[in-house]
Amino acid sequence: MATSDNEERSGLTDAAGRAALLSARTAARVWRDQRETAVDELLSSPELARVIDRSLAGPLPEEIAHSLVRHRVLERVVAELAASGELDRLLTAALANPQTLELTDRMLASDETQHALGHVASSPELRDAVRRQTRGFADEVVDGLRTSAVRLDDHVELRRGKRTGSSAFGGVVTRALALAADAFATIVIYLGIVGVVALIASLVGGLRPQWLVGTLLIVGWVLIAGGYFVLFWSSAGQTLGMRLLRLRVQTAAGGPPSVGRSIVRAIGLVLSIIPLFLGFVPVLFDERRRGLADFMARTTVVYDDV
């Protein structure tokens, strides 16, 4: 037991001697103006390394981190760098560094990044968000257009002293916009069908003579345009253009017209368009805003949400 105590005291004595010798050497070097050499020797000493290691293993790093956050040191440093313009310079230099560009290219070209981008792009959440945004924007545009058209419907009649308020029947402006949309739709359908027929005809040597081709084109246009209006009027009570402007054609009973009435109304629509659209002039004066086609088929056009 005494031997162990002696060995422990001897070890402590040796450690104290080494520490005293180190301090003495350091003081001597500083005294001789060899400060840099003394500092280097002090920093490279194993004793200082062990002290630093024990300090880092304790609660000191956490206390330093908490102190930095509590006193907002990082925010003050960043604010100072931003105020002096040094932060902009550092960012500009970092972005202009070729290594930064190379690292960015490598990251974007990596399989992991491509897989992540593909997963995000194909996710149903992203597609649903894009669809909602697109549909919402389109609905806003259409609603704004329709609101302006309805306001113009009332304004046109108010200028003629026919009404003192809004009407449930579709006016000339909304009906004109709906007709323009339907004309565009029928042209697209017609061109698609003609393109398919022309492709088939080219495979069998084409159609001859030219007058036959012209006749078929005219007959095809009449059938497609007429069938478009008759089909939508008799089945849904509204065409695509009327649905866009929220209009609906109906009989006195409140339902969509029959196929016969729809055919009569389509003929009346053609007769209304031929003389410079004069067949729509009665819409401006009639109490129920009926045009020539409505008088012929005994129908009315109403706003779908009224």
Q: Which residues of the chain have a pLDDT value below 50?
A: 2, 7-9, 12, 162
Put residue 300 in one of left, alpha, beta given phi > 0 → left and psi -120 to 50 → alpha: beta
Q: What is the DSSP letter of 206?
A: -
Q: CA 99, CA 89: separation in Å to the nearest integer? A: 17
* Per-residue pLDDT, 245: 93
Q: How far apart are CA 285 and CA 156, in angstroms?
A: 10
Whole-prediction pTM: 0.57
Q: What's the pLDDT at 255?
A: 93
Instruction: Spell out the domain ranges in the chain.
Output: 2-94, 141-303
- What is the pLDDT, as a whole number, of residue 177? 95
3-state secondary structure of 85: coil
Q: Round to whole Å and give the CA distance between 53 and 283.
A: 94
Q: 64-114: per-residue pLDDT in tens?
A: 887 878 888 888 887 887 888 887 887 788 777 888 778 877 877 788 777
Q: Residues with Cβ < 8 Å from 178, sequence gap 6 or more?
A: 170, 239, 241, 242, 244, 245, 247
Question: Which pLDDT score is estimated for 35?
Answer: 60
| Mean pLDDT value across the chain | 80
Q: What share of the chain has pLDDT > 90, as a percent?
A: 34
Identify the pLDDT of residue 231. Answer: 96
